[in-house]
Amino acid sequence: MILSMERHASYPMLFSMIALSVMFFNCEGPEGPAGTDGTDGTDGIAGVDANETCKVCHNDGGMLTGIQAQYAVSGHATGGTANYGNQEGECSECHTSQGFVYYQANGVSSPTHFASVSQPDCRACHMIHTEYDSTDWAFRVTDPVVSFRDATQTFADFGTANLCVACHQTRSSALPALDATADVSVDTKRFGPHHAPQGNFMDNSAGQQFTGVAYTPSVHTVVADGCVTCHMADGGHYPYGGHTFSMTASFHGPQFNDTACDVVGCHAGADVKALITATKADIAPLLTELKAALGDYLDTSGYLAERTIVGTDTTYTSPTEDDPIDFDPVVLGTVYNYRMIAFEDPGYAVHNPKLARALLQNSIDALP
């Protein structure tokens, strides 16, 4: 009986503990302050089949490998000027692929050289690996180009050849004003238009244009798409045209790509190479005459200099940065014209022979 009473006496305590537990787990305190919003997640990116994307260009059609093979023998690929041009300043704008891309994107030359540099290549001309579709073949330059030499001058619209003119134009030496009378100080023997002034010939704006014979442009200056029409014309089985950009080739003897001449129609059926040879022969006497007239201002390599003759001794003194020389502005203009035609544009007899004749004749007549 006593044991039974002890067992029953423990029930009130057990009930109290259970009630206390229920209260502990069910009672809530006051609500705390709201937390800060979490960061928004990014939208999911739709999956892209990389294999299909690459095949837009990299496929078994052979076009890309063919272009690469043509480019490999082009002057752009083999010119060997990228390493020299890979420096601070304007050289990199045209002599390196990276420098050209930088200039077109920023409007100024790269302030530093590039760690790994290449000759002007696919990425220089095209928007390669930008959208990873057919738009990657788009040209990097499409609008008419502003002159390197004169920021107030914009070249004519050459269509797809605007890309070519972005580099193939005169630069470096500034010509004195046509009405200048005071001598001009020059600090380099390389005074002249620099290499590749083809854009200026095609634009009929090349050289120091003294008064005299009219500067009537050649019909070649209005050929649609200019440089591209001729230099990239399909060469058939000959290794020229396309992305070689060459008009000639050595293939079972010298060959000339006159495909574009036939397509445009000006010289259909004619021996175009013979016409070019005849045009050069017609201009050559003027070039020889101007060189002779400039004898006191050209060294034996055709660079600007002052010639001094004492007895049988001939001395050529070239201007340098440390020792500049003052020259008559007319002399500088004629030296500029001579060097441009004699050395810098071997295609003058095609690009604009009328302009070449006028520049030479008027230069001869302008010299004192």
Q: Where are the domains of the chain?
A: 51-136, 169-366
Q: Tens place of pLDDT for every residue, the chain, 368 residues?
A: 444 444 455 555 555 555 555 454 455 566 767 767 766 655 544 556 767 788 888 888 888 889 999 999 999 999 989 998 998 778 999 999 999 999 999 999 999 899 989 999 999 999 999 888 889 999 999 999 999 878 889 999 999 999 999 999 998 788 999 999 999 999 999 999 999 999 999 999 999 999 999 999 998 899 999 999 999 999 888 889 999 999 999 888 888 888 888 777 777 777 888 999 999 999 999 999 999 999 999 999 999 999 999 999 999 999 999 999 999 999 999 999 999 999 999 999 999 999 999 999 999 999 98
Amino acid type, 9: A
Cα–Cα distance for residue pair 158/137, rounded to 1 Å: 19
Residues ≥6 apart with Cβ < 8 Å to 191: 173, 304, 319, 332, 335, 336, 339
What is the pLDDT, as a whole number, of residue 39? 66
CB under 8 Å, gap of 24 or more: what pairs does 130-134 form? 132/53, 132/54, 132/56, 133/53, 133/56, 134/56
b/e 80-102 (16+ beta carbons within 10 angstroms → b): ebbeebbbeebbbbbbbbbbbbb
Q: Phi/psi of residue 151, each to 5°?
A: -65, -10
Amino acid type, 350: V
pLDDT tens digits, one per residue of 102-146 = 999 999 999 989 998 999 999 999 999 988 888 999 999 999 999
Residues ≥6 apart with Cβ < 8 Å to 32: none
What is the largest distance, in Å, between two alpha-carbon atoms of the chain? 155
